[in-house]
Structure 1
Amino acid sequence: MVADAVRRCPALFLTAPASHQGKTTLTAGLARYHRDQGRVVRVFKTGPDYLDPYILEKASGNPVYSLDLWMTGETDCRRRLYDAAGGADLILIEGSMGLFDGTPSSADLAETFGVPVLPVIDTTGMAQTFAAIAHGLASFRPSLPFHGVLANRVASARHAEMLLEALPPTLRCLGTVMRDDAMTLPERHLGLVPAQEIDDLELRLQQAAARIATTALTELPPPIAFRPASTEVLPPLLAGVRIAIAHDKAFSFLYPANLQLLTELGAELAFFSPLADEELPPADAVYLPGGYPELHLAALSTNVRTRDSLRAHVAAGKSLYAECGGMLYLLDKLTDKLGQSGQMLGLLPGHATLGRRLAGLGLQSVTLGGQTLRGHTFHYTTTTTPLAPIAHAQRASGSGQGEAVYRHGSIVASYLHAYFPSNPVATASLFKP
């Protein structure tokens, strides 16, 4: 590695002491503010997430990739950050959960790449304790680069004074952002409402950018040195393979990196919408990603063209890979939390019911045919099926059995959301004709 290969770019890691502090809103506002100044902004999201990246993509105008030292791996993280530094004026990374939560944590990722952290702290119902929380985050791991703190959901000018009066002089507060429902992003059971369903998203992003304009974050953070990672030349394992991918409001959980890898492996991608009852395009394989089929039971249970073409695809023995919501769509029946049921495709025997509590959560990996894929699981449904699993995933940490993987004819299905670049060979095997 030579010194001139290093790329330098201003970068900041927005984190928090816990979830629901408003870090996605303020990360999006920060991205939009600097984009409006004519800067190229690249945003990344820590850990497995489909919903926040859509918001951040709308804010920044660029695709948002995931970074995770376990799921995507340090080499993948390093490569994506280095590539971004080659053309960006600012790199932003949004953390997940609290700064030190998880193994690996947001703090681990920030320290690995030397990106200074900026905790966003929801100050609702607190005053001087804000300083104690900020001090604890800054001092808990002395080796962690620290940029300062940002007070969020501040009630008034007097409230802002109380928040700052106990803050140590060595700890900077970059701003006090007032409570503002006009920029708050709506949520539902799996997290934020997807960007494509928020009709006034543009107004919310502009309002968040306007709030950022009142802070010291209008100035770019110091540049960080990003070093190249080793590159791997991928063999064209899917050359000549055409993959049809469901993509609409019911099936929207797609990592951009997954689609990118399929293309790099030589596959041709074609998209279709089950919600619009579109016929399956000519394809050698089908990918049914996760999403919200439980919110669209009426439409999915009556989509004759999509149903018949998918059934014909499977009857012909062609590959079909389904994840989480995609797997639910394959079942005989799906029931929402109100007890209303819809008939699904009937290609995978079983019935799923949406509950009010999490039924699966966390990073997991699965080994199929001697090849291991990493990914995650996050769902509120439980599935009953007479099928015996061909494998179970393993949890990245903790005890207990991971998600079941089912094979039924040419179908492979699981609750597990796979991160394809974690193993290109394993990925190709899922879509081989």
Structure 2
Amino acid sequence: MRIVLAGTGSAVGKTTISTGIMKALSEEYRIQPFKAGPDYIDTSYHTLATGNDSRNLDSFFMSDGQIRTSFERGLKTAKADFGIIEGVRGLYEGISPIEDVGNTASIAKALDAPVILIINARSLVKSAAAIVIGFKTLDPTIKIEGVILNQVKNKKHYLKTKEAIETLAKTPVIGGIKRDDAIRVEQRHLGLVPAVERENLLNYIEKWGEVIKENIDLDALIQIMKNAEKLPEGREDTWQEKNRKKVKIGVAMDEVFNFYYIENLEALKANNAEIVYFSPLHDEEIPDVDGIYFGGGYPEIFAKELESNKSMRKSVFKFYEDANPIYAECGGLMYLTKSINGKEMCGIFNYESQMTKKVQGLSYIIAETSKDNIITKKGDIFRGHEFHYSKVLLNGQKPEFAFKILRGKGIEGSMDGLIKKNTVASYIHTHVAACPQFASNFTQSAGD
């Protein structure tokens, strides 16, 4: 009862088509959405389309057993009829030119899930069949059981390409989407604009759903999902559960800060944390909590508004001064520095954050803890990812760092994790499956 929607590469229309399929099927079924790879934005579209929190599946962060555990948890939580997984980049693109770690194929293998291949068919007919044959023969264990054509010129083009693929590649084509600028998605430097920021996004998603219903054979897609084999054996835990004391964790959640993995929050709850959401943009001060979690987002877009909310910034600084635990990732790190592009921020770390035109960090991360902190202990090795156009200007100063970067870039000199008192802030986005002690350590720190 599952499917992987994979592309031949980036920018073939995976998110629009996947979200449209999720929306169309949600009218009759309960759909649990998933996204392959480290992504916060596509998942926000899925969530809006289905009403269920989209979850990430990533073989760099997770073992096969953890992937299956996470997949089943999602289905169970949503009481879903089907699980639909949007791939990342091309089906086989990962961190290695040969192996499968970090790619969509690894997720399909771990779940033994059938794959629908999405192709940008612009100017292709017989060559589209060659593409399908190539994708199928590169790894015959991947079950490519259908094709969707995007960017077709007209019905004649669609039917000719469909005939080529079905005759030569022996693979059914279950639909084709005509070229239409109206269903393109607005983008910015980190990818698509998050759902929380886009006005009338639900109207767009409803339109995508209508386009899908008109152009995709959804009965054939459902049958492919129903024909999926039983999930393979082997399950592994995705987090530790050690904290016994009840605590309250404040989670920044608004237009600015909304990059969170749902399982990180679930792991906090499993460690006796009550999640209290608040808005650094709109609220006057932090809530009455024992610890604060600042996720990533786009604080640079809202720097003026964040600067104007002086009472919130003072409240955060006092929380830090009182030695309460604060954990911040990427955009959260920027908010805790002195300023963002000259706009005053919280000032816990006396350095400026500055946006640049070029990407400063884009990588999976492997980090080793060099100093005990609220989420890891010295010697711990964990994984994450970084994706940012900003940099923290240390100007020759030598701050205390919590993490040594073994793979990736970090803040400076292969170091990351600014640390002061019980506050840790880094460019590393963590997933609890790749840092299973995160939630238990954080909640224990909040309870001390």
2:145 alignment partner in structure 1: 147
1:22 alignment partner in structure 2: 13
Equivalent residue for 1:287, pick from 280, 284, 293: 293
Q: 1:402-421 alignment to 2 at 5 Å?
A: 404-421=416-433
Gaps of 5+ in 1: 1-9, 336-340
1:63 alignment partner in structure 2: 53
Q: Does 1:77 align with 2:67?
A: yes
1:132 alignment partner in structure 2: 130
1:256 alignment partner in structure 2: 262
Residue 45 of structure 1: how far off its partner (Å): 0.7
Q: 1:6-21 alignment to 2 at 5 Å?
A: 10-21=1-12
The whole-number CA distance in structure 2 between the counterparts of 1:235 and 1:166 is: 54
1:101 alignment partner in structure 2: 93
Q: Does 1:354 align with 2:355?
A: yes
Equivalent residue for 1:54, pick from 44, 53, 69: 44
Most deviating of 160-169 and 99-108:
160-169
The whole-number CA distance in structure 1 between the counterparts of 2:75 and 2:279 is: 35
2:372 alignment partner in structure 1: none
1:300 alignment partner in structure 2: 306
- 1:185 counterpart letter in structure 2: V
2:388 alignment partner in structure 1: 379
The whole-number CA distance in structure 1 between the counterparts of 2:439 and 2:265 is: 11
The whole-number CA distance in structure 2 between the counterparts of 1:342 and 1:183 is: 36
Residue 16 of structure 1: how far off its partner (Å): 0.6
- 2:380 counterpart letter in structure 1: Q
| CA gap 1:392/1:119 in 2 versus in 1, 3 angstroms | same
SS for the counterpart of 2:300 is: helix
Superposition RMSD in Å = 2.2
Tell whether the 8 Å contact from 2:366 to 2:406 is kept in structure 1 after alignment.
yes
Q: 1:109-188 alignment to 2 at 5 Å?
A: 109-169=107-167, 170-188=170-188
SS for the counterpart of 2:229 is: strand
Residue 355 of structure 1: how far off its partner (Å): 1.6
2:33 alignment partner in structure 1: 43
SS for the counterpart of 1:352 is: strand
- 1:20 counterpart letter in structure 2: A
Tell whether the 8 Å contact from 1:120 to 1:149 is kept in structure 2 after alignment.
yes
Cα distance per residue 1:270-315 (max 9 Å; x no partner): 1111111431111221111110000011111111111111111111
| CA gap 1:347/1:429 in 2 versus in 1, 3 angstroms | same
| CA gap 1:16/1:32 in 2 versus in 1, 3 angstroms | same
Residue 59 of structure 1: how far off its partner (Å): 1.1
SS for the counterpart of 1:268 is: strand
2:228 alignment partner in structure 1: 223
The whole-number CA distance in structure 1 between the counterparts of 2:154 and 2:279 is: 47
Equivalent residue for 1:331, pick from 320, 337, 341: 337
The whole-number CA distance in structure 1 between the counterparts of 2:32 and 2:407 is: 31
Residue 320 of structure 1: how far off its partner (Å): 1.0
User: Could you tell me the TM-score, scaled by structure 1's length?
Assistant: 0.90
The whole-number CA distance in structure 1 between the counterparts of 2:190 and 2:50 is: 23
| CA gap 1:384/1:43 in 2 versus in 1, 3 angstroms | same
2:374 alignment partner in structure 1: none
Tell whether the 8 Å contact from 1:71 to 1:363 is kept in structure 2 after alignment.
no
The whole-number CA distance in structure 2 between the counterparts of 1:215 and 1:236 is: 47
Tell whether the 8 Å contact from 1:245 to 1:269 is kept in structure 2 after alignment.
yes
Residue 168 of structure 1: how far off its partner (Å): 4.8
The whole-number CA distance in structure 2 between the counterparts of 1:232 and 1:27 is: 26
Cα distance per residue 1:155-191 (max 9 Å; x no partner): 2223324433432521221111112333322111111
Cα distance per residue 1:192-218 (max 9 Å; x no partner): 111122222222222222222222233
- 2:333 counterpart letter in structure 1: M
Q: 1:414-433 alignment to 2 at 5 Å?
A: 414-431=426-443, 432-433=445-446
The whole-number CA distance in structure 2 between the counterparts of 1:52 and 1:189 is: 14
Tell whether the 8 Å contact from 1:373 to 1:426 is kept in structure 2 after alignment.
no
- 2:387 counterpart letter in structure 1: F
Residue 70 of structure 1: how far off its partner (Å): 2.1
Q: Does 1:393 align with 2:383?
A: no
Cα distance per residue 1:209-238 (max 9 Å; x no partner): 222222223331223312462558954416
The whole-number CA distance in structure 1 between the counterparts of 2:115 and 2:32 is: 16
Cα distance per residue 1:355-375 (max 9 Å; x no partner): 222111122132332333322
- 2:201 counterpart letter in structure 1: L
Tell whether the 8 Å contact from 2:32 to 2:50 is kept in structure 1 after alignment.
yes
2:80 alignment partner in structure 1: 88
Tell whether the 8 Å contact from 2:251 to 2:276 is kept in structure 1 after alignment.
yes
2:23 alignment partner in structure 1: 32
Cα distance per residue 1:67-99 (max 9 Å; x no partner): 112213322211122344553222111111111
1:267 alignment partner in structure 2: 273
Structure 1 vs Structure 2: percent identity of aligned residues? 29
| CA gap 1:403/1:106 in 2 versus in 1, 3 angstroms | farther
Most deviating of 198-207 and 250-259:
198-207
| CA gap 1:233/1:123 in 2 versus in 1, 3 angstroms | closer
SS for the counterpart of 1:32 is: helix
Residue 113 of structure 1: how far off its partner (Å): 1.7
1:278 alignment partner in structure 2: 284
1:244 alignment partner in structure 2: 250
The whole-number CA distance in structure 1 between the counterparts of 2:316 and 2:87 is: 38
